[in-house]
Structure 1
Amino acid sequence: MSNVYDSAHELEKAIQASDEFKDLKAAYDKVMEDSSAKQMFENFRNTQMELQQKQMQGAEITEEEVENAKKVVELVQQHEDISKLMEQEQRVNVLVNDISRIITKPLEELYGVPGQQEQ
């Protein structure tokens, strides 16, 4: 029987070889090559991270911060390359979530799905 870590490394390689990841990398590279797009994207990511950090710390997010975040999102969504990058991120996210469901299936089967009672 193969080592589970070997299988995990094979999965890593499979993800990197997937069309979803290749398309994401191409979209990312295109944004990073355009200095204005790169700056917009970095601003977007920083805004996201700051709000997530505040949320995780239990700090209140002000109305001004929410409005600023909305403006940043609207701005990046209007940029074709960044919008494409975000679409590709979503595709990879779906792939990773699907894989996560598959690899956690043995645990779900062992413990049962929360909220479901055996009959």
Structure 2
Amino acid sequence: MSVNLYDVAYDLEKALRHSEEYSTLRNLYDEVNEDESSKRMFENFRDIQVNLQQKQMTGQEITQEEVEQAQKTVALVQQHDKISQLMEAEQRVSVLIGELNKIIMKPLEELYGNAEEN
């Protein structure tokens, strides 16, 4: 039996889009973006987050000022109910995708895991 993995992947994408986790994330994202001040606050948070991640990945030093700014922004964002809920929903979707990735990678882990044991 031949299986078209791309068809299965697209089915998985559709299932994710129809999942409760994604639906919650989408609704919260829309709510945050409907309010201009919430949208700006969230975008600022994401910009700082991406900037720090890029610096970290390229081995650039992160200054104490950048750390303090990030901490202040996180504290501010966590006090905002909708943004805080959005971040929690992002985390749930991220965990779900991580679990799906483990399932997808299982054949390779078994293959290489068994090869190391032999």
Shorter chain as denominator, the TM-score bin is over 0.9
Segments of 5+ residues of structure 2 without an aligned counterpart are none
Query: Partners of 1:60 and 1:66 in 2: how far apart?
Result: 11
In the alignment, structure 1 residue 118 sits paired with structure 2 residue 117: yes
TM-score, length basis structure 2: 0.94
Alignment of 1:35 with 2:36, yes or no, is yes
Give the deviation of 1:17 after TM superposition: 0.4
Tell me what 1:9 maps to: 10
Q: AA paired with 1:63?
A: Q
Cα offset, 1:112, TM superposition: 1.2
- What corresponds to 1:106 in structure 2? 107
Structure 1 consecutive aligned stretches of length 4 or more whose deviation exceeds 3 Å? none
Kindly indicate whether residue 23 of structure 2 is the aligned counterpart of residue 22 of structure 1: yes
Taking the aligned partners of 2:38 and 2:32, their CA distance within structure 1 comes to 6
Task: Please tell me whether residue 84 in structure 1 is matched to residue 85 in structure 2.
Answer: yes
CA distance in 2, matches of 1:58, 1:98: 29
Cα displacement (A) at 1:75: 0.5
Identity in percent = 59
Higher helix fraction (1 or 2): 2
Aligned-CA RMSD value: 1.3
Which residue number corresponds to residue 75 of structure 2? 74
Matched, 1:97 2:60: no
Aligned mates of 2:46, 2:29 — CA distance in 1: 13
What is the aligned length? Answer: 116
List runs of 5+ in structure 1 lacking aligned partners.
Answer: none
How far apart in 2 are the matches of 1:33 and 1:89?
18
Q: Deviations over 1:13-68 (max 9, x none)?
A: 00000000000000000000010000000000000010011111110001110010
- What amino acid is aligned across from residue 118 of structure 1 in structure 2? E
Residue type at the aligned position of 1:22: S
2-structure distance, mates of 1:75, 1:7: 41
1:54 corresponds to: 55
